[in-house]
Structure 1
Amino acid sequence: MVAGSDKQRFAFDASGERVRAQQGHSVAVDLQLAPVEPPEVLYHGTASAAVPAIRHEGLHRMKRHHVHLSPDEETARRVGARRGRPVLFVIDAKALHEAGGVFYQSGNGVWLTDHVPPEYLREL
């Protein structure tokens, strides 16, 4: 299951005997991630139907543990394309972090945070 996951959604725990989710999604999981300083910018890909709410309210975690952010445009574009033509947002992660935003990076490279207010977003 760990090796066959195309997005590397799963990993072994420290014991190597149990499988856990990398990001947790909607299941209550201790991801065992420590806060880290993010890169200057991160990206979020979404479907066009979500854009008005994102512009107004920012990015919310919805039913997940965190907002999922991508380290590059290509990955964000693939994520956003799952439901049609993608729309990309650039996140000023450095400014959000300096303002107190907490970031984590999962084992498969996905960046996580609780909320991205609209003032830290720019639509591409």
Structure 2
Amino acid sequence: MTALTREQVRASRRISMVLRHRPESAGLRLDANGWVPVADLLRALGLTRAELDVIVENNDKSRFAIDRRADDADWIRASQGHSSRVAVDLGLPPADPPAVLFHGTPVSNVGSIRREGLRSRSRHHVHLSKDVPTALVVGRRRSAEVAVFEVAAAAMAESGHVFHRSDNGVWLTSEVPAGYLSLKPTNP
């Protein structure tokens, strides 16, 4: 994997915004599972297929999935992270989570998370990481001061909470009640 240029990062963010939050801003309509023809996305965003391939291949979080359909047309979608205002069903089957998962967040959110748990808010799901280093990276997207919560995922699943695993390894669930969370000490 090679690092994306600034222009490629900007294009990646635009693709994310369109596929996850505002497809109509580019004149696109996602299918029920969040897919759109690659040709339509390229035309709407003024990208070449070569530019898109570099972005998809080298995106630091594997945000996008490409699927070749029976008619040999390629379709693309965001792997997860859709706003609740975008009606999509990723079609991910329920999955048994590991014993623990992790959630990185700015330190300023710790109090409310301890009281309310983790809620999806404006997204379809709460996103959880498989390890602390990944959770720290995710938390640092919004703040330099990050806290990491450990999630008792297996206990949640035993209590009936449903988990899914996206194509890029992010664990998804609708909520994490406060009783399943513990603050994990982290070293800067």
TM-score (norm 2): 0.63
- Matched-pair identity in %: 52
- How does 1:30-109 map onto structure 2 within 5 Å? 30-82=89-141, 83-109=143-169
Give the total of aligned pairs: 124
The answer to which structure has the higher helix fraction is 2
Distance 1:14 1:91, change over 3 A: farther
- Secondary structure of the equivalent of 1:13? strand
After superposition, the C-alpha distances for 1:80-112 in whole angstroms (9 at most, x for unaligned) are: 112221100000001000000000000111000
Gaps of 5+ in 2: 1-51
CA-atom RMSD in angstroms = 1.3
- Secondary structure of the equivalent of 1:49? helix
Higher relative contact order (CA 8 A, sep 6+): 1
1:110 maps to 2:170: yes
The answer to which structure has the higher strand fraction is 1
Is contact 1:11–1:19 with CA below 8 Å preserved after alignment?
yes
Measure the CA separation in 1 of the matches of 2:157 and 2:68: 28
Counterpart of 1:25, as a letter, is: H
Kindly name which structure, 1 or 2, has the bigger radius of gyration based on alpha carbons. Answer: 2
Distance 1:14 1:30, change over 3 A: farther
Is contact 1:24–1:31 with CA below 8 Å preserved after alignment?
no
Gaps of 5+ in 1: none
TM-score (norm 1): 0.94
After superposition, the C-alpha distances for 1:26-59 in whole angstroms (9 at most, x for unaligned) are: 1332212000100000000000111111000000
Residue 7 of structure 1 is matched in structure 2 by 61
